[in-house]
Structure 1
Amino acid sequence: TWLAVLIAGKVPVMCNWTAGPANFAHGLKATGARHVLTSSRLLERLAGQGFPVDNHADAWIALEDAPASLSLLDKIGAFLRARLLSLPLVGAAAMPRGVPGTAAILFTSGSESLPKAVPLSHANMLANCRDIAAVLRLTTHDRMLAMLPPFHSLGLTGNIALPLLFGLPAVYHANPTEGARLAALARRWRPTVTVAPPTFLDGMIRKARPGDLTSLRLGFVGAEKCPDALHAAFAAISGGVLCEGYGVTECAPAVSVNRPEDVRPGTIGLPLPSVRTAVVTPETPPRRVAPEETGMLLVSGPNVFGGYLGVEPDKQPFVAFEGRTWYRTGDLVSEDEDGRLTFRGRLKRFVKIGGEMISLPQIEDALLAAFGERAEGEGPALAVESGDDAAIVLFAALPVTREEANAALRRAGLSGLSSVARVLRLPALPVLGTGKTDYRALRTLCTQTDQGVSTLNGGK
């Protein structure tokens, strides 16, 4: 469907229904999309989950109903054009003119603010695919287990474009949260490579039976921090290696990745071959920071998008530095002497307490190290967020008290300012369709209660 829309001269907009009705409607409005290609079965499921399907009744086009509107002449013409496109000498000439320069419009995750529309060009995605295939040493002998939806930039590039471009057989499953089903597919089809956020990969490993995942030689994880324990779990159950990387939708998406021959857990690896990075001071004018010092990550390269749709030029995330235009990621990293990057958190995920900038990801890491193994089931075990009062709130899907949490933070060597003010117990932490923790939802919960310890969805 994605390729058909392009060949028809239209710009594909990848709609994310998992972001919720408000963000979905925002995406349609921001891009001016008038029609949504979908299926009746999906609409029935969404309606059953409370999604206001009727609000967009005029937009839906169910693909399974579309053939009924095509005449025999339409079908014969399409068949002949498809055959011409497959011929080596005439395929390029037969390609319809007017294929848009935008390969797809995706949206930022919306984990911290309203999603922004990100137009990616064909060149953006092709550069990323070339780099990923080279550094991960993919061959036509590999087979991919693909679970990410096309509204996820890693799903569109890594699960759809990459296998098509390099001839990799791919086994697809529509729901990345169904760990047992994914493990069963791996047992049947024997894939060698999978691409997934750590949350989804962890769910598959937890549900796998002995022998299910032994064909996997390589796992590529991104979109969120990969726990060190997942590296060991993947190696133990598959015998393969897990390569953590870093990327953002605006970079189509990969920026850096650990190489299979030299994995360093806890880092996000080296920049891709065609990508340049700079680690600079967050304030302007920027200057490069010293090795191992934390700074703002800037990215330049053929994979970097041209700017958000509908955003004024002076509000675009680009900066001039050392005679070059860079994309300012908003992410903090450090770089060692060898150029290897370590993710340190989002600039937005700091809170000022007592005149000091406190890192919420650092607190999360310390608490996960202390309590993460006590988590049961799938999904993130805990997360921390701060409300308007700057108080740090721990959201936990496991039994932990405020006193236990703060004692763990002291043992980890964090300052007294890095203290949990209250704990909110949840049956499960909210996650986006990309597998990331939904921090916007957590911030909303921060403002809804000022109780010291609460249990939501089933308690006080």
Structure 2
Amino acid sequence: MTQEHSPYWPAHLPTHLTLPATNLYYNAEVSAARYPDKPFIVFYDTPVTFAEFKDETERVAGYLQQCCGVKAGDRVLLYMQNSPQWMIAYYGILRANAVVVPINPMNMTDELRHYVEDSGARTAFVAQDLYERIAPLAGEADGQLAHVIVATYSDYLKRPSCITPPAFVGAPRRVDNGGNNGIAHWADVLDARLEPGPLTAGPDDLCVMPYTSGTTGKPKGCMHTHRSVMCTAVGLVNWFGGRQDSIMLSVLPLFHVTGMQTGLNAPLFSGATVVVLPRWDRDAAARAIGQHRVTEWWSISTMAVDFLSNPQLDDYDLSSLRVMAGGGAAMPDAVARKLQDKTGIEYIEGYGLSETIAPTHINPPQRPKSSCLGIPMFDVDARIVDPETLVEMPVGQTGEIVTHGPQLMQGYWRNPQATHDAFIEIDGKRFLRTGDLARKDEDGYFFMADRLKRMINASGYKVWPAEVETMMYYHPAIQEVCVIAARDAHRGETVKAFVVRNARHAGTVTEDDIITWARENMAAYKAPRIVEFVESLPKSGTGKIMWRLLQDQEAAKAAR
């Protein structure tokens, strides 16, 4: 492997990064000792100091151990919007020596059932606005949740704010446990003041298990250790020169690995302050930047496009911003130029996967390239190989990205076959097959070319057609279905489903009926926004649906 990017490596940084030999929770202890009275979280102008954060995580851990029976290595679900409770619960789970299973708050009951059953979790944290979705899974039966801790976001609205919280954040407590001892309120958990046992987790114990899907089957849990999570968290702090007086805007979803690392784990390591918004709102984001003098903001390109298209943008003070970075999809050149004109800063793009717990590649801040994945980060060996022969491709030619480094997952939870298929060995090293096709230029920068794997990128959310198809077959009118990507001016790509109707429903079910049903039964970003009824789906000689043909036809239609 060559190192064409060496001349462009940030001059102040070593190429090797020595990782702490500790569990992730130790970072909370260190920052609380160093900066006890400094705000770690700011939630609509209500601060949570580092000392308060550590104290509340210990109370959560004590409750998990003493009241929920959580033991070392147990998985615990975390199902909320961005909030102080999300962040405190995450570290409370780690303090209990358990494993965080972060869940997209857009998921519906049938989707949640898979995460509960597959992870084996018996305890979950849920926000009250999402409680009705998880309530059917709470009970004493095998494969169900025995304990549910319900959080009310307004518990952390203790000061007046210049930003009006949305209604679901300002709502008072309304979930009644109905006498069910398995249902507890967040405030009651803290008020119990139970102390946890010893912190025993080591750097190679499981830490967090984000779920990702793929070309077949249901979502799979990516097993990350404290060491692999520490790797990208510490790497990001070093890459951008994170300091204890940096102020981060956390509006990327925390359940997503990029939001998790940039909005929680990295700033906790450095002692920075995090301004938290529960969901995207361009005016709230702009007001927060000016009010709290935000210095760093990680986003996705669709957020940046929406932010910069705000006709009121000139009314806000953005002068404190020093770094704006992200990924998910290439940033359009015109938008990047507009960002630079408005703020004087360049958008820094990166690339990573759930399997790598955020970036393996990122652009050097001093020499970024547009619409570019960047260069491999600390200790990452990334190559472009022929997907069939696995031979490394010459500069400029397209092949599959394979990557080796300390941030790689251990494998997929309880899925040895998928784990086997995800990794290859080259030169005695274990490489992850990303399924992404890219090329490398003469400077060693990586550029996305296409996808080897079947995936839709809708506003930065990865949608796996096979998972959507599996859900859609539950509709009684659907005989066959094939899901592809369609062009979308705002989302980049959106979800389209070709549907063959069951003969019994041919005249009674419309495309809009299918769309409405999908939105009621799966996360909004996965639900097809376009449904087209067809008489049949194209199939190969072996009877497999030829999704690629439909995808190519859709692309040709969009080009016309």
The TM-score normalised by the length of structure 1 is: 0.70
Counterpart in the other structure of 1:282: 387
Closer/same/farther in 2, CA of residues 391 and 330 from structure 1, 3 Å limit: closer
3-state SS of paired residue (1:13): strand
Counterpart in the other structure of 1:445: 531
- Cα separation, 2, equivalents of 1:71 and 1:186: 31
Counterpart in the other structure of 1:244: 349
- Cα separation, 2, equivalents of 1:34 and 1:6: 16
Counterpart in the other structure of 1:152: 256
- Cα separation, 1, equivalents of 2:213 and 2:259: 13
- Cα separation, 1, equivalents of 2:374 and 2:229: 20
- Cα separation, 2, equivalents of 1:316 and 1:238: 45
Closer/same/farther in 2, CA of residues 448 and 29 from structure 1, 3 Å limit: farther
- Cα separation, 2, equivalents of 1:305 and 1:55: 32
- Cα separation, 2, equivalents of 1:150 and 1:22: 22
Q: Is the 8 A contact 1:215 1:238 kept in 2?
A: no
Counterpart in the other structure of 2:292: 189
Deviations 1:182-224 (A, max 9, x none): 1111121110111111112322333352133232121111122
Matches within 5 A, 1:61-80: 61-63=149-151, 65-66=184-185, 75=193, 78=195
* Corresponding letter in the other structure for 2:450: G
- Cα separation, 2, equivalents of 1:436 and 1:17: 10
- Note if 1:204 corresponds to 2:307: yes
Deviations 1:149-185 (A, max 9, x none): 2210111111100000011111111102x11111111
- Cα separation, 2, equivalents of 1:8 and 1:391: 41
Deviates more, 1:63-72 or 1:121-130: 63-72
Q: 1:56 aligns with which of 114, 128, 137?
A: 137
Closer/same/farther in 2, CA of residues 42 and 20 from structure 1, 3 Å limit: closer
User: Which runs of no fewer than 5 residues in structure 2 stay unpaired?
Assistant: 1-88, 140-144, 153-183, 470-479, 491-511, 537-560
- Cα separation, 2, equivalents of 1:141 and 1:331: 37
Closer/same/farther in 2, CA of residues 136 and 236 from structure 1, 3 Å limit: same
Deviates more, 1:146-155 or 1:32-41: 32-41
- Cα separation, 1, equivalents of 2:256 and 2:294: 21
3-state SS of paired residue (1:124): helix
- Note if 1:8 corresponds to 2:96: yes
- Cα separation, 2, equivalents of 1:341 and 1:222: 13
Closer/same/farther in 2, CA of residues 66 and 15 from structure 1, 3 Å limit: same
- Cα separation, 1, equivalents of 2:138 and 2:380: 43
- Cα separation, 1, equivalents of 2:387 and 2:129: 47
- Note if 1:23 corresponds to 2:111: yes
Counterpart in the other structure of 1:405: none
- Cα separation, 2, equivalents of 1:19 and 1:446: 24
Q: 1:230 aligns with which of 310, 323, 335?
A: 335
Closer/same/farther in 2, CA of residues 35 and 447 from structure 1, 3 Å limit: farther
Closer/same/farther in 2, CA of residues 396 and 328 from structure 1, 3 Å limit: closer
Counterpart in the other structure of 1:403: none
- Cα separation, 1, equivalents of 2:308 and 2:127: 30
- Cα separation, 2, equivalents of 1:67 and 1:186: 29
Deviation at 1:287, TM superposition (A): 0.3
Closer/same/farther in 2, CA of residues 37 and 276 from structure 1, 3 Å limit: same
Deviation at 1:144, TM superposition (A): 0.7
Closer/same/farther in 2, CA of residues 319 and 34 from structure 1, 3 Å limit: same
Q: Is the 8 A contact 1:23 1:114 kept in 2?
A: no
Counterpart in the other structure of 1:264: 369
Deviation at 1:9, TM superposition (A): 2.4
- Cα separation, 2, equivalents of 1:12 and 1:101: 12
Deviation at 1:112, TM superposition (A): 8.3
Q: 2:427 aligns with which of 322, 325, 331?
A: 322
* Corresponding letter in the other structure for 1:129: A
Counterpart in the other structure of 2:72: none
Deviation at 1:107, TM superposition (A): 1.1
Deviates more, 1:203-212 or 1:180-189: 203-212
Deviation at 1:339, TM superposition (A): 1.4
* Corresponding letter in the other structure for 1:62: V
Q: Is the 8 A contact 1:17 1:24 kept in 2?
A: no
- Cα separation, 2, equivalents of 1:21 and 1:346: 30
* Corresponding letter in the other structure for 1:191: V
Closer/same/farther in 2, CA of residues 9 and 135 from structure 1, 3 Å limit: closer
- Cα separation, 1, equivalents of 2:99 and 2:416: 21
Q: Is the 8 A contact 2:362 2:373 kept in 1?
A: yes
Q: Is the 8 A contact 2:350 2:362 kept in 1?
A: yes
Closer/same/farther in 2, CA of residues 68 and 270 from structure 1, 3 Å limit: closer
Counterpart in the other structure of 2:223: 119
Deviation at 1:318, TM superposition (A): 0.3
3-state SS of paired residue (1:12): strand
- Note if 1:255 corresponds to 2:341: no
Q: Is the 8 A contact 2:381 2:405 kept in 1?
A: yes
Deviation at 1:445, TM superposition (A): 3.1
The count of corresponding residues between Structure 1 and Structure 2 is 367
Taking only aligned residues, the RMSD between alpha carbons, in angstroms, comes to 3.9
3-state SS of paired residue (1:18): coil
* Corresponding letter in the other structure for 1:180: D
Counterpart in the other structure of 1:343: 448
Deviation at 1:68, TM superposition (A): 6.7
Matches within 5 A, 1:364-375: none
Q: Is the 8 A contact 1:332 1:345 kept in 2?
A: yes
- Cα separation, 1, equivalents of 2:282 and 2:98: 35
Matches within 5 A, 1:102-113: 102-108=206-212
- Cα separation, 2, equivalents of 1:311 and 1:111: 14
Deviation at 1:41, TM superposition (A): 3.9
Counterpart in the other structure of 1:90: none
* Corresponding letter in the other structure for 1:202: V
* Corresponding letter in the other structure for 2:285: L
Deviation at 1:297, TM superposition (A): 0.6
Deviation at 1:98, TM superposition (A): 4.8
Q: Is the 8 A contact 2:211 2:221 kept in 1?
A: yes
Closer/same/farther in 2, CA of residues 391 and 184 from structure 1, 3 Å limit: closer
Deviation at 1:114, TM superposition (A): 3.1
- Cα separation, 1, equivalents of 2:406 and 2:190: 42
Deviations 1:65-84 (A, max 9, x none): 54675698x52x63xx7xxx
* Corresponding letter in the other structure for 1:216: L
User: Which runs of no fewer than 5 residues in structure 1 stay unpaired?
Assistant: 82-93, 351-359, 365-378, 399-423, 451-460
Q: 1:136 aligns with which of 219, 240, 253?
A: 240
